[in-house]
Structure 1
Amino acid sequence: MSSNFRGKAPSKAVELSKPRHLLFAISLLISMLFVLLPAVSNAQSFNLNAISVEGNNRIDDSAVIGYAGIAPGQVLSGGDLNEAYQNILASGLFESVEFTPRGNTLVISVVEYPTINIISFEGNRRLKDDALSQAISSQSRRVFNPSTAENDAIAIAEAYAAQGRIAARVTPRIIRRSDNRVDLVFEIFEGSLAEIERLGFVGNRQFSDRRLRRVLATKQAGILRQFFRSDTLVEDRIEFDKQVLRDFYQSRGYVDFRVTGVNAELARERDGYFITFNVEEGQQFTFGEITTVSNIDDADAEEYQDTLRIRPGVVYSPSLVESSIARLERLANRQGLDFVRIEPRISRNDRDLSLDVEFVVDRGPRIFIERIDIEGNTTTLDRVVRQQFNVVEGDPFNPREIRESAERIRALGFFANSEVNAREGSRPDQVIVDVDVEEQNTGSLSFGGTYSTDSGFGLVAGFKERNFLGRGQELAVDISTSPDVNNYQLSFTEPRFLGRNVAVGFALAYQDVSIADARYTNTVGSFKPFVGFQLGERSTMQLRYSYENVEMTVPTASLIAGSVIDSEAAVGTQLGSGIGYTYQYDSRVGGLNPDAGVLFELSQDFYGLGGDIEYLKTTAKTIAQRKILQGEVTLRATLEGGAIIAPNNDTRVHNRFALSSSQIRGFEPLGIGPRDQVGAADDGLGGKYYAVARFDAEFPIGLPEEYGISGGLFYDIGSLWDTDGSLTNVVGNDFSLRQTVGVSLFWDTPIGPLRFNFSKALQKEAFDKEQTFNLTLRTEF
């Protein structure tokens, strides 16, 4: 802005020979003049009768004057003109603005910013153009603003930093075009991943760094770092890791555990982080005295006490307290008692490091659920979300039940985000439960491969929709092919049949089985509808019906006179129809001891409801697992066995048991048990009975855990015996133990888990088929 104010210099120089008091007076006068000059300038006013705008092409004169906030005829000070000048610049539409008073007219000269013709990105490979376009504010056919472009460059760099590429640099550039247009180009240098080179802990004494690193979602960069997404620094993941560490320690009795801080140091080359968790473990506490007190006349404290499963001396865990509260509340509901609240009162005994827990059965406030509002579910039906609540409108309000319902909603896996909150309803004694969800994709299409030394290479393809038509149902199609087995299966499951906690579904399968070195092929078509439900906290039951069509064939060129396989194949197609059940109890997750658990499974199938065969097949399995040495070593013992009772001795090799390499290691499939050795035949026939015991130990072998490589030892002992009838050429009909020992190498790779087994048979029969090495791999992508 030009100005007519000018300061004037004095006409004569001051002579040094004048009296000193005169010199002082003149100096004072000059100083006052310089002080008053700005005030005189600022006090200058302008009476402008007209405003003229120059240089604008797209923006009207009235718009420019409107931005200035002044009007013709106003008496304006220098400060008013400066404010108008700043207002026009702040509009972000002009590169430069100049105010020039010409008589009674104010001339506003502007240079407009160009419009953006196109926006392009150069140098980006990790993030696509569509993703970057969503991160910026600049848009085509809008006015270009350098400040906005700079902010967009920062936003793009932050998007790369979220993926661990903190060295990314973004430079906005413009290319001038005709008609005052520009192309906006963001030149991107992506840089390399800033990986987590080291995850360390300070203050941990009870658990090693190796053990704690296995708990965290964040991982160290390993030899396969190009496959990992969890070896980069993500702030939200660090917060999650802190909570996971607290849960890990508190579930093992360390109630005072806390994370005092997390230090993240960036390497000098800006290509890696060194992260350190500072922790305070505290002391381990156990449960002390467990008591129950009732403040309700209809609730017998002794009855509630007998319901509890916690015993003194057990390592303290908050999850056990929560499960006990749920158990007591369920008892109150069965007794018809409403508004019952269970309050755990915990007393600390620092002398013996125990926590006494007193469960108080009391009346809670009389609050009812007015309604449950669900928002954000554009695909999923309301009833799918409502089925996760064990309460409905009008029921007593229980905060713990609402929390558990929220966890069940999250566990569905249908939503990227879900929030469940309660707020006051239309009356003080009512609440409204708000459920806000955000849908996510629930369908998946996978392709992959398998490899086993038993069956060679195979291909796997599958489609799964976990929320079919938004009804919470699961539909899956699986196809797997290999030289030995071709399997095609369609399955459907309704997890909440008629709104109850009962799963109903079916599996339709077609299987073509040709075991290596076997002379026959089994073609099996099956249809198996089922019903599954929960019996207890850790026990489930499945009831099923099975229909099978089994065709056994032997190529003409492979026929051997008098062989068992040939006689069984001559029977032709057999139809099997039967009912069965599977009972399972699993305490490995959520049991009293987080480092130990037991799985028990019992299955029985009775065939004879029509069809061509009649037998009862029973199998049972027990697995006991325990982690020792701070969880570094896992010990596992497995006992399993089975029996077939066939009144008419009409079982075939398809119906009998055939132990695989996963059941007893060191032998080929059908490598042990009864064998038919008539003539040139050497056919494994399977057996009506089997019993196996497996003992495993898994442990680290000294390599960094981010490599995912660990070792193991195993010892297997078992037998497979007995076939139908008295067959003179069959060997191995009698019970005979086999024993094997071996070492395993486990490699948990991003493309799938690899397991290498090296075994040696300590006890076997001469006709057994030994297998000293076995490799398995399964991967999907």
Structure 2
Amino acid sequence: MLPSIKSAVTLLNHTILSGTPARIPQVVALSLAIGLAAPAVHAQDYRFDSVRIEGNQRIETATILTYAGIPRGQVVRAGQVNEAYQRIADTGLFESVEIVPQGGQLVIKVTEYPTINRVSFEGNRRLKDEALAELVTSTPRRVFSPAQAQQDAEAIAGAYRQAGRLAASVDPKIIRRSNNRVDLVFEITESGVASTERISFVGNRNFSDRRLRRVLESKQAGLLRAIISSDQFVAERLDFDKQVLTDFYQSRGYVDFRILDVTSELTRERNAFFITFNVQEGQSFDFGKLTASSTLPGVDAQEFLAVSKIDSGDTYSPTAIENTIARMERLAIKKGLNFVRVEPQITRNDAAQTLDVNFQLSRGPRIFVERIDIEGNNTTLDKVIRREFRVVEGDPFNPREIRQTAERIRALDYFEQADVSAREGSSPQQVIIDVDVEEKPTGSLSFGASYSTDSGIGLAVSFSERNFLGRGQQIGATISAGTDNQQYSFNFSEPRLLDRDLRFSFNATYVETEKANSDFDTTLARIQPSIEFPISEDTRLELRYILKEDRIYNVSPNSSDILHKEAGSVLTSAVGYTLSYDTRRVGLDPNSGILLQFSQDFAGVGGDNEYVKSVARVIGERKIAREEITLRAGLEAGALNSLSGNSRITDRFQLSSRQFRGFESYSIGPRDLNATNRDALGGNYYAVARVEAEFPVGLPEEYGITGGVFMDVGSVWGLDNTNGGPQGAPIANSVDDEAHLRASVGVSVFWRTVIGPLRFNFSRPIQKESYDKSQFFDFTISTEF
């Protein structure tokens, strides 16, 4: 009897054959049976005259023969037969493979994987079917693949991990249907959210744990852990936390700062983590001697150094270095010097804890921008992204400018992610800049509720779109109604008019008020187009036109004659400007900032009203005591000079309770003491100074509660005519429009919550007039749902 060999490899699942749900097979069983008539020393050799394929329906026979690679009419060893099986099984196209030698013929029996009839999800409550369907690649009418199904299960489990549900499990199963079809079911067992129970630091001596926790994106679980998602533990978030923590220290001069390691320890209940940052702070350094040098002929390095805003003694900051280099490179371009590179050469003085910086100007490589390729923007127009570049095709390539462009694109807030990179172009002297973005929703429709002690309860419906039609334009509309007022508004903004740093805005508003702290009603219709542009790095100028019609009506008989004579409608046409200098967010000192603002409106460009209205504001903020205490101070003042007779109450200054705490809105200032109602009349002049301090109160930082104290001092005064008669008529002694000083002190409770920052003010006037209306408590909340 001749020796015979049968190599059979079977991948079966008996529960599938029975038609019941089954787990996807994870193990391949290899069965190799060799029967010999007599003992043999060497492996059996075969010669196949033909190869027959059985069981294939979709896969071509020639394709399987190619994978098998069995030659006809030649000697074939048993090992080659087994290798043929392996090649066919490794294609992932077949549920089972069996190779059977039958004399001079080799029979290959295959069972193809079934077609997916339906993909479904079971057990998921936290994540919707629609969201999960976007994660899986197994789809109906495609061939079922166990490996792909397992990858899809991992993707779903990963989404749950991203949501903080670390113990969630996903089990892919199949249900056999007729005609070689299966239903693919992902059985999901959801788990609770793993929160961040505690964030602590080791090695920090100059900043408290509480201060450093405010820097991180990860948050500790607090009072509202059931509804706040920011305290969910996300492992990927730790990389971002390490970066922002490093930036925090380096911007404060800690050049040697290091994060030695970050540990995340799971609690015994497996529902929360303890995160510990092990840091090494080092010492804080200041800028020492600042110099500039140049290897370029005819270039005055001192002229470039003059554009720096860094002073010796300032706290060292990499951002300040970057900004100075950017200014120098812009100056080089303005002077027609291309390919100029500025490299900071830093000399360390450990004894004085200073860093001397020499800005070295040199000629960089001659590399040009060949092309800018943008991908991923399905809605946003290419030009919206391109206008953030300061270079175009054919310009010299500047790596620093490309990095800053990437930051500007991310700052648009149109994209989930925005990556900007450069690669070599058609020659070593050219580069191609690739921009890869992933868009995110930029529109919203909201229904809101608000409450304040000034206006009571209010409801609002608003629509906004920050990237209208993908053009980078902003559009919005709001309808709100409160206890004593209704407001309708529309706004449109084009941030880059004519593809320049020129913002065009258009605002339209209609407001009705009913006896808001007064015994008369008003309506106001207003439209205001404006343009705004920078005139220096921190200074911007806005130019505007105002057209408004205001009406005073339903004046109570018990109100002042001044109000009765101001009743009616007046059309105002005015032009104006606002000049602003703001370093609160972009200044060199991360612990302080200042806003200086001056605006004027000139009415009389047509219309019924003529006046000049001026307002000045100064606001400053600084953190002290290792940034635990925040000091704020503000001063604002205004003057209204009427050119056409008497000013109107709708144009005069009236202070709200936010501008002057401790008093009801619009309740201080000139009064007609003879009038029964003693309505506040507003004033032509006002000035108010505010100082406050915010500090921790000893509660855990995750509660988001801090305390504060404040003091407000100021007044509203001045009328053109104190008896309502013609200009120059005798002054009635009953009207008090003197500049009486008012003052109030109080304490505040700040609470950062999921519905926004809340502020509770408890105030007490310490200097007031008898007719002023006090307000001892003020609370404001605004939310959307």
Pairwise same-fold verdict (TM > 0.5): yes
Partner Cα distance (2:253, 2:663) in 1: 44
Q: Pick the aligned partner of 1:667 from 663, 669, 676.
A: 663
SS in 1 for 2:214: helix
Match for residue 460 of structure 2?
A: 460
Q: Deviations over 1:400-456 (max 9, x none)?
A: 233222222222223333333334445554444333333333323232221101101
Q: Compute the displacement of 1:243 (Å).
A: 1.1
Residue 78 of structure 2 is aligned to residue 78 of structure 1? yes
Match for residue 621 of structure 1?
A: 617
Q: Pick the aligned partner of 1:633 from 622, 629, 632.
A: 629
Is 1:115–1:142's contact at 8 Å kept on the other side of the alignment?
yes
Which letter maps to 1:603?
S
Match for residue 239 of structure 2?
A: 239
Which letter maps to 1:567?
K
Partner Cα distance (2:87, 2:117) in 1: 26
Q: Deviations over 1:172-218 (max 9, x none)?
A: 33334344443332221110111111111111111111111100111
> Please, what is the CA RMSD of the aligned residues?
2.8
Is 1:42–1:77's contact at 8 Å kept on the other side of the alignment?
no
Q: Compute the displacement of 1:102 (Å).
A: 4.8
Match for residue 690 of structure 1?
A: 686
Partner Cα distance (1:443, 1:203) in 2: 44
Is 1:242–1:259's contact at 8 Å kept on the other side of the alignment?
yes
Q: Deviations over 1:80-135 (max 9, x none)?
A: 33233334443445554444555555555555554433222111012222332333
Partner Cα distance (1:583, 1:538) in 2: 11
Is 2:722–2:735's contact at 8 Å kept on the other side of the alignment?
no
Is 1:752–1:780's contact at 8 Å kept on the other side of the alignment?
no
Which letter maps to 2:707?
G
Q: Pick the aligned partner of 1:743 from 740, 747, 763.
A: 747
Partner Cα distance (1:42, 1:694) in 2: 100
Match for residue 21 of structure 1?
A: none
Q: Pick the aligned partner of 1:647 from 636, 643, 653.
A: 643
Q: Pick the aligned partner of 1:777 from 762, 775, 781.
A: 781
Match for residue 18 of structure 1?
A: none
Partner Cα distance (1:186, 1:74) in 2: 48
Is 1:674–1:730's contact at 8 Å kept on the other side of the alignment?
no
Is 1:100–1:108's contact at 8 Å kept on the other side of the alignment?
yes
Is 1:345–1:360's contact at 8 Å kept on the other side of the alignment?
yes
Is 2:286–2:316's contact at 8 Å kept on the other side of the alignment?
yes
Q: Compute the displacement of 1:310 (Å).
A: 1.7
Match for residue 507 of structure 2?
A: 507
Q: Deviations over 1:262-281 (max 9, x none)?
A: 11112222211111111111
Is 2:668–2:716's contact at 8 Å kept on the other side of the alignment?
yes
Partner Cα distance (2:390, 2:487) in 1: 39
Q: Compute the displacement of 1:542 (Å).
A: 0.6
Q: Taking structure 1 as the reference length, what is the TM-score of the superposition?
A: 0.89
Is 2:3–2:38's contact at 8 Å kept on the other side of the alignment?
no
Partner Cα distance (1:58, 1:296) in 2: 71
Partner Cα distance (1:404, 1:37) in 2: 80
Match for residue 563 of structure 2?
A: 565
Residue correspondence of structure 1 range 461-476 to structure 2 within 5 A: 461-476=461-476
SS in 2 for 1:40: coil
Match for residue 349 of structure 1?
A: 349
Aligned identity (percent) is: 54
Is 1:368–1:430's contact at 8 Å kept on the other side of the alignment?
yes
Residue 121 of structure 2 is aligned to residue 117 of structure 1? no
Go from structure 1 to structure 2 and tell me whether the alpha carbon gap of 1:147 and 1:407 turns closer, same or farther (over 3 Å shift). Answer: closer
Is 1:165–1:192's contact at 8 Å kept on the other side of the alignment?
yes
| Farther-moved stretch of structure 1 (604-613 vs 130-139) | 130-139
Residue correspondence of structure 1 range 158-557 to structure 2 within 5 A: 158-426=158-426, 428-554=428-554
Is 2:559–2:677's contact at 8 Å kept on the other side of the alignment?
no
Go from structure 1 to structure 2 and tell me whether the alpha carbon gap of 1:200 and 1:575 turns closer, same or farther (over 3 Å shift). Answer: same
Q: Compute the displacement of 1:644 (Å).
A: 0.9
Match for residue 129 of structure 1?
A: 129
Match for residue 43 of structure 2?
A: 43
Q: Give unmatched runs, 5+ long, in structure 1.
A: 7-35
Partner Cα distance (2:38, 2:166) in 1: 50
Q: Compute the displacement of 1:461 (Å).
A: 2.5
Residue 714 of structure 2 is aligned to residue 718 of structure 1? yes
Q: Compute the displacement of 1:580 (Å).
A: 1.0
Residue 584 of structure 2 is aligned to residue 588 of structure 1? yes
Q: Compute the displacement of 1:154 (Å).
A: 2.9
Q: Compute the displacement of 1:306 (Å).
A: 3.6
Which letter maps to 2:442?
T
Q: Deviations over 1:728-761 (max 9, x none)?
A: 3754411111111111111111122211111111
Partner Cα distance (2:111, 2:183) in 1: 18
Match for residue 14 of structure 1?
A: none
Which letter maps to 2:747?
V
SS in 1 for 2:236: helix
Residue correspondence of structure 1 range 60-71 to structure 2 within 5 A: 68-70=68-70
Which letter maps to 1:652?
R
Which letter maps to 1:488?
Y
Q: Compute the displacement of 1:78 (Å).
A: 2.4
Q: Deviations over 1:494-552 (max 9, x none)?
A: 22222322222221211112353422121111111111111111111111111111111
Q: Compute the displacement of 1:630 (Å).
A: 1.5
Is 2:51–2:108's contact at 8 Å kept on the other side of the alignment?
yes
Q: Compute the displacement of 1:145 (Å).
A: 4.5
Partner Cα distance (1:662, 1:342) in 2: 48
Partner Cα distance (2:583, 2:423) in 1: 37
Aligned residues: 747
Partner Cα distance (1:168, 1:38) in 2: 57
Is 2:694–2:706's contact at 8 Å kept on the other side of the alignment?
yes
Match for residue 757 of structure 2?
A: 753
Is 1:502–1:532's contact at 8 Å kept on the other side of the alignment?
yes
Is 2:597–2:618's contact at 8 Å kept on the other side of the alignment?
yes
Which letter maps to 1:760?
R
Q: Taking structure 2 as the reference length, what is the TM-score of the superposition?
A: 0.89
| Farther-moved stretch of structure 1 (444-453 vs 301-310) | 301-310
Q: Compute the displacement of 1:79 (Å).
A: 2.0
Residue 774 of structure 2 is aligned to residue 764 of structure 1? no
Q: Give unmatched runs, 5+ long, in structure 2.
A: 7-35, 724-731
Q: Deviations over 1:333-355 (max 9, x none)?
A: 44444433322211100111100
Find the structure with the greater CA-based Rg: 1
Which letter maps to 1:496?
R
Residue 708 of structure 2 is aligned to residue 706 of structure 1? no
Go from structure 1 to structure 2 and tell me whether the alpha carbon gap of 1:303 and 1:169 turns closer, same or farther (over 3 Å shift). Answer: closer
Go from structure 1 to structure 2 and tell me whether the alpha carbon gap of 1:147 and 1:434 turns closer, same or farther (over 3 Å shift). Answer: closer
Partner Cα distance (1:421, 1:115) in 2: 41
SS in 2 for 1:212: helix
Q: Compute the displacement of 1:643 (Å).
A: 1.1
Partner Cα distance (1:371, 1:116) in 2: 44
Is 1:711–1:746's contact at 8 Å kept on the other side of the alignment?
yes
SS in 2 for 1:461: strand
Q: Compute the displacement of 1:700 (Å).
A: 1.5
Q: Compute the displacement of 1:48 (Å).
A: 4.5
Partner Cα distance (1:431, 1:68) in 2: 47
Is 2:517–2:667's contact at 8 Å kept on the other side of the alignment?
no
Partner Cα distance (1:39, 1:350) in 2: 85
Partner Cα distance (2:492, 2:645) in 1: 35
Partner Cα distance (2:133, 2:405) in 1: 38
